[in-house]
């Protein structure tokens, strides 16, 4: 399974919540870094580390795959592909 397939595959609920938390952390720290007022160096430095942590959390959470849902999806896709050329009821 390559990285694109992993990103498109279903994600477990816990990691969806974790991904949202990471995105919020990234957004908050980005707004602190881009603030038009002068902030102490320590605050901007901590915001930079928080942005890095939020990005890593979000990426790792996105590529985590729910194996059971992924198996179900592959079975449904296989059945759709197998039934694609079969005649439908009522159509001759």
Tell me the mean pLDDT per 10 residues along the chain, length 92: 81 92 95 92 94 94 84 81 67 56
Instruction: Supply the pTM of this predicted model.
Output: 0.69
Structural element, H or E, at residue 55? helix 41-62
31 within a domain of the structure (yes/no): yes
The answer as to whether 87 is a domain residue is no
* Residue 10: φ, ψ to 5°: -65, 145
Q: What is the pLDDT of residue 91?
A: 60
1's CB contacts (< 8 A; 6+ apart) are 9, 65
In a domain, 84, yes or no: no
pLDDT of residue 92: 52
Tell me how many domains the chain contains: 1
Domain annotation covers residue 23: yes
- Boundaries of domain holding 33: 3-73
């Amino acid at each position: 399974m390559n990285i694109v397939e992993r990103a498109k595959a279903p994600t477990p609920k816990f990691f969806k919540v974790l991904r949202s938390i990471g995105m919020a952390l990234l957004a908050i720290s980005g707004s602190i870094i881009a603030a038009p007022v002068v902030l102490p160096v320590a605050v901007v430095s901590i915001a930079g580390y928080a942005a890095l942590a939020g990005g890593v959390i979000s990426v790792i959470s996105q590529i985590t795959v729910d194996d059971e849902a992924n198996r179900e999806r592959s079975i449904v896709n296989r059945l759709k592909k197998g039934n694609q050329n079969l005649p439908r009821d009522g159509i001759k």
